[in-house]
Amino acid sequence: MVLGQVVNSLVSLRGIDKLAARVLLAELGDIAWKAQKRLCGRYKTLTQAGKNTPLVCVAIARELAGFIWDIVGHEMPKVVPAK
């Protein structure tokens, strides 16, 4: 998806302006990039250390779930319940 389409989707779904949508995407992108760097480095370190690859993948998946939890934690307080 193109960034403009994502911004337009956020504007229509959440009722926020385009600037707020871009700020939101930047915040989430920062979390995602931090996760990308950490998880790739961790996978490389653990597999090069000779750890069992399926167990390494499970450990990485658990950490990924933590990053997803962080993103949801950033977003859930902003959700306005429907009336």
Tens of pLDDT, residues 11-41? 777 677 778 778 877 888 888 888 899 999 9
pLDDT at residue 5 tops 80:
no
The proportion of the chain whose per-residue pLDDT surpasses 90, expressed as a percent, equals 36
Task: Evaluate whether residue 19 is within a structural domain.
Answer: yes
Q: What is the structure's pLDDT at 53?
A: 95
The residue among 42 and 28 whose pLDDT is bigger is 42
Q: How far is CA 10 from CA 5, 14, 82, in A?
A: 9, 6, 16
How many structural domains does the chain have?
A: 1
Q: What is the structure's pLDDT at 25?
A: 79
Q: Model pTM? A: 0.66
Task: Evaluate whether residue 13 is within a structural domain.
Answer: yes
Between CA 59 and CA 20 the distance in angstroms is 34
Task: Evaluate whether residue 83 is within a structural domain.
Answer: no
pLDDT at residue 81 tops 70:
no
Q: How many residues belong to the chain? A: 83
Task: Evaluate whether residue 59 is within a structural domain.
Answer: yes
Structural domain that includes position 34? 3-77
Task: Evaluate whether residue 65 is within a structural domain.
Answer: yes
Q: Where are the alpha helices (DSSP H) in the chain?
A: 3-14, 18-48, 53-75
Task: Evaluate whether residue 82 is within a structural domain.
Answer: no
Between CA 71 and CA 37 the distance in angstroms is 16
